[in-house]
Structure 1
Amino acid sequence: MTNPYGGGYPAYEPGSNPYDSPSYGTRPSYDGLSIAAFVCSLTCCAAPIGIGLGIAGIVRTREGRRSGRWAAVTGLVLGVLVVVLGIGFVVFAAVMGSRTVWEDEARVGQCIDLDFLDDPIKASCSEPHAGEVIWAGRFDADQAGAFTTVSRAAFCLALPLDPAYRSAIESGEYDVRVETDAFDEDDPDSGDAFFCYIDRGDGEKITGRIRDAGEQVGA
């Protein structure tokens, strides 16, 4: 075929036309590992996996070879953050658990403080503290039945308390509280562990044991 305007057509050379390129107008495919890293980093249990997948995704998406680098980077950062927060929570829970006064481990005369949840924690009797355990044991059938019908003070006064504790309650200067491991704390069953403790009604701290007549208010 001749060119009507003169001269011949230039010879076609494969690859000389950019539209012939198979990659023209296409985008790199998304990297599956990068997406998986992002998804895994959103859950506590899979966050460590998200860290590993995020590192792999960053390698696989460098220089634009695959799309999804943002997912790999985000997955790595979130995974590290979730793991660090998880470790911090475990350490915090372990520390709080070691300080908590558990119902089946409490003992009479034990001095306590209250944490930010108003739960009893161990305290030194030689330092200012919130209160003192006055009874520890397990509900029998009669005690479990009476617990829902009387005040906490009346319930604990019905127990064979040390005279010093009985006098402290009857003075009206102390509030009486009960901690129980019952599923429903207001409706315990026979066999559930519990302890009674008293603290100052006016919020003052105590130094020394009430039972030993060494109690000082506001020290």
Structure 2
Amino acid sequence: MSNPYEPDPHKPQDPQQGGSGGGFSDQPYGQGGQYGGQQYGGQGGGYGGQYGGGQPGGQQFSAPYSNPFGAQPYGQQQPTSTDGVSIAGFVLSLTCCLSFVGAILGFIGLSRTKNDQRKGRWAAVSAIVIGLIGTLVAVGVIVFAVTVGLNTVTPGNAEVGQCADKSFEDDDAIGLRDADCDEPHDVEIVYAGDYSDVEDAVADEGFDIDELSDNEIAGVACTTLVGDEYSEVQTSEYVVGILAENVPPGSADAILCYVERSDGDELDAPLAD
């Protein structure tokens, strides 16, 4: 009698059964059989075949995608150009007269370079800072110049009875600054007119004006031209001086005559009677 469990030698063996046995394999679990066809990470199926490209020992997970051109991620584009408004503002902020315009362009450039839309934000910030400082300096200089100009006494704007302090003095010129006659001051204006008046006064006194020094001209002409209210200035307690619009003066140039104390002390009250 034949053994019913003995395999028929003439019948082909099922490769899925993995051996010469019957329905059960004598191989260890995971080798051969329906679970042992391919190990994980091998060729063909399993996770190794899916992510490893079908190569033995392939990686189970691929590397993150990298951009070979080094571009920024989507939505983070780099600025491609430098903002001309910011650069122009920076240049103008360095000038003495257009620093205010430079500051304005700096504020505009600050908006144009926001969020790295354009390059040149440093120029916009610098234009604002330098432009504002330059503007303040320019305003200060203008205010100072206007103040000095309004307070400066010249032959063209001098008035008789006006008091002044000396802002500077040298051998050829003198500077006068408006002062309060009721406060201590250096000089008082006793005559204002044209140089032709001086020429006439010197000639009336019998002198040749070309042969006189400036002090002699002042002594002769100014003491003659002053009004009666300044009669006391002809005493030795005071000295007179003359200031012309131009040096040497022409007949049509404005002049003024001033009086100061001979001892160098300040005047403390108006001289006019």
Q: Give the 5 Å matches for 1:61-210.
A: 61-115=113-167, 119-140=175-196, 143=199, 150-159=212-221, 160-162=224-226, 163-167=231-235, 171=236, 174=238, 176-182=240-246, 186-200=247-261, 202-210=263-271
Q: Shift of residue 71 of structure 1?
A: 1.2
Which structure 1 segments of 5+ residues have no match? Answer: 1-5, 8-15, 213-219
Secondary structure (helix, strand or coil) at the match of 1:115 reads strand
In structure 2, the CA distance between the partners of 1:207 and 1:136, relative to structure 1 (3 Å rule), is same
The whole-number CA distance in structure 1 between the counterparts of 2:72 and 2:211 is 82
The whole-number CA distance in structure 1 between the counterparts of 2:250 and 2:68 is 82
Assess if the C-alpha contact under 8 Å between 2:152 and 2:178 holds in 1: yes
Deviations 1:115-157 (A, max 9, x none): 368621222221111111132211129839x777533321112
Q: Shift of residue 181 of structure 1?
A: 2.2
Task: State which structure, 1 or 2, has the greater radius of gyration over its C-alpha atoms.
Answer: 2
Tell me the percent identity: 35
The whole-number CA distance in structure 2 between the counterparts of 1:19 and 1:143 is 95
Which structure 2 segments of 5+ residues have no match? Answer: 1-53, 56-64, 201-207
The whole-number CA distance in structure 1 between the counterparts of 2:107 and 2:80 is 19
Assess if the C-alpha contact under 8 Å between 1:176 and 1:196 holds in 2: yes
How does the TM-score come out when normalised to structure 1?
Answer: 0.72
Q: Give the 5 Å matches for 1:20-39.
A: 20-21=69-70, 28-39=80-91
Superposition RMSD in Å = 3.5
Secondary structure (helix, strand or coil) at the match of 2:138 reads helix
How does the TM-score come out when normalised to structure 2?
Answer: 0.59
The whole-number CA distance in structure 2 between the counterparts of 1:48 and 1:191 is 42
Q: Give the 5 Å matches for 1:3-22.
A: 7=55, 16-21=65-70
In structure 2, the CA distance between the partners of 1:141 and 1:206, relative to structure 1 (3 Å rule), is closer
